């Protein structure tokens, strides 16, 4: 049986992709961001998912105002990298898992979530940047990725509650797939940001931290946030965070938060990242070590934790 072992959230700021592509990750501004994902890369290398379900939003790359699917599941074998105006990013093509994707489509649609199925779809920074943050810059992505594109660009996006319920349906689908696969769900976008209008540049760290706390402990509360509340608190583009609730809905009610990272800003955006593990009976706890609990935290880690508010909640 396939099972969802963990969920990951991460921002998808396109300038992070540009920093990688232009070899600028060592500059202090960017180092601050990338350092926060070093432990995450170690975690995922150990977790070794067989498949990632990447919940992200398309930024008028595969779709446009002509066609606006609310939930679009990538059922293809491959997803080419979109040209977002300056050529496709030099990252590996995203390889899908058509069998599992078709199974999810059948299960979820029969559960009354009317997905759009995409047998052909290009993917943009919304998906590729989180893949880079978690996997670095390999020649090939280490596992198949099933993209799930959510409309959060053109009003009306789906509600947080609908997203959470879809996550539950996806979990049911995964758990009825006969092959023994370990699946990690990525919820991407956010955190607070607004890139145009009078409030351009808005960041609300207080809201972001509370959102991260509730994501782990009280996600139901987040499902009750209206779009207006989300946008008022987290900026117009902060509404991307409804996508995180798909990831959260796919996990157990009670999860272990094994890692958290938050830094501001990257471009216009607050970068928020969390790793939540399902509690699998009899399984060993996560490999992400808490510097506060490990005997000898390295000076580098101590510095990073202090400077960048890295919080490792559990070992
Ligand atoms: C920025 C953030 C986004 O999420 C996005 O899609 C585009 C730009 C930014 O911070 O610049
Ligand atoms: Fe975005």
15 lines ligand 1 (CB under 6 A): yes
- Does residue 202 have its Cβ closer than 6 Å to ligand 1? no
Is position 125 annotated as part of the catalytic site?
yes
pLDDT at 289 over 80: no
The pLDDT assigned to 286 comes to 58
Q: Report how far ligand 1's centroid is from the alpha carbon of 270 (Å).
A: 10
Confidence (pLDDT) at 280? 77
**CA neighbours within 13 Å on the CB side: how many for 243?**
34
- Ligand 1 contact via 268 beta carbon (within 6 Å): yes
Q: Which residues, in sequence order, are CB contacts of 102 under 8 Å at separation 6+?
A: 75
Give me ligand 2 centre to Cα 66, in Å: 19
pLDDT in tens, 174-232: 999 999 999 999 999 999 999 999 999 999 999 999 999 999 999 999 999 999 999 99
pLDDT (average), residues 115-137: 98
Distance 194 CA to ligand 1 centre (A): 8
- 228-245 tens-digit pLDDT: 999 999 999 999 999 999
Ligand 1 nearest-atom number relative to CA 189: 4
Confidence (pLDDT) at 259:
98
**Residues 59-71: what's their mean pLDDT?**
97
> Which is the closest atom of ligand 1 to the Cα of 126?
6
What's the distance, CA 202 to chain centroid? Answer: 21
Kindly name the residue from 12, 193, 227, 273 that is annotated as catalytic. 193
pLDDT band, residue 87 (cuts 50/70/90):
very high
Give phi and psi for 178, each to the nearest 5. Answer: -70, -25
0.85 surpassed by pTM: yes
Q: What is the pLDDT of residue 138?
A: 97
Rounded mean pLDDT, 162-173:
98
Ligand 1 site, residue 12, Cβ cutoff 6 A: yes
Mean pLDDT, to the nearest integer, of 66-77? Answer: 98
Q: What is the mean pLDDT of the chain?
A: 92
> CB within 8 A of 155, min separation 6: which ones?
none
Asked whether the beta carbons of 71 and 148 are under 8 A apart, the reply is yes
Question: Closest ligand to 84 CA?
Answer: 1
Taking CA atoms only, the protein residue closest to ligand 1 atom 3 is 13
């Amino acid at each position: 049986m396939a099972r969802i072992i963990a969920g990951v959230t991460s921002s998808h700021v396109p300038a992070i992709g540009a920093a990688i592509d232009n070899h600028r990750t060592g500059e202090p501004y960017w180092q601050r961001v990338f350092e926060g994902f070093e432990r995450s890369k170690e975690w995922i290398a150990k977790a070794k998912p067989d498949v990632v379900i990447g919940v992200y939003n398309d930024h008028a790359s595969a779709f446009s105002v002509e066609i606006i699917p609310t939930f679009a599941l990538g059922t293809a074998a491959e997803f080419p990298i979109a040209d977002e105006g300056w050529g496709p990013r030099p990252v590996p093509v995203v390889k899908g898992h058509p069998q599992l994707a078709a199974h999810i489509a059948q299960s979820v649609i029969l559960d009354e979530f009317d997905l759009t199925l995409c047998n052909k779809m290009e993917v943009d920074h919304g998906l590729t940047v989180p893949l880079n943050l978690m996997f670095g810059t390999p020649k090939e992505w280490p596992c198949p990725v099933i993209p799930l594109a959510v409309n959060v660009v053109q009003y009306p996006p789906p509600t947080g509650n609908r997203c959470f319920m879809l996550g539950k349906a996806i979990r049911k689908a995964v758990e009825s797939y006969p092959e023994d696969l370990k699946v990690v769900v990525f919820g991407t976008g956010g955190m607070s940001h607004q890139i145009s209008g009078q409030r351009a540049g808005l960041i609300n760290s207080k809201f972001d931290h509370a959102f991260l706390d509730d994501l782990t402990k009280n996600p139901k509360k987040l499902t009750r946030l209206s779009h207006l509340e989300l946008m008022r608190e987290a900026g117009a583009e902060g509404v991307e965070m409804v996508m995180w609730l798909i990831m959260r809905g796919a996990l157990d009610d009670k999860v272990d938060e094994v890692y958290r990272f938050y830094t501001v800003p990257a471009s216009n955006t607050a970068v928020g990242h969390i790793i939540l593990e399902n509690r699998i009976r009899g399984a060993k706890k996560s490999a992400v070590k808490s510097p506060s609990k490990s005997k000898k935290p390295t000076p580098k880690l101590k510095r990073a934790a202090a400077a960048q508010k890295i919080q490792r909640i559990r070992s």
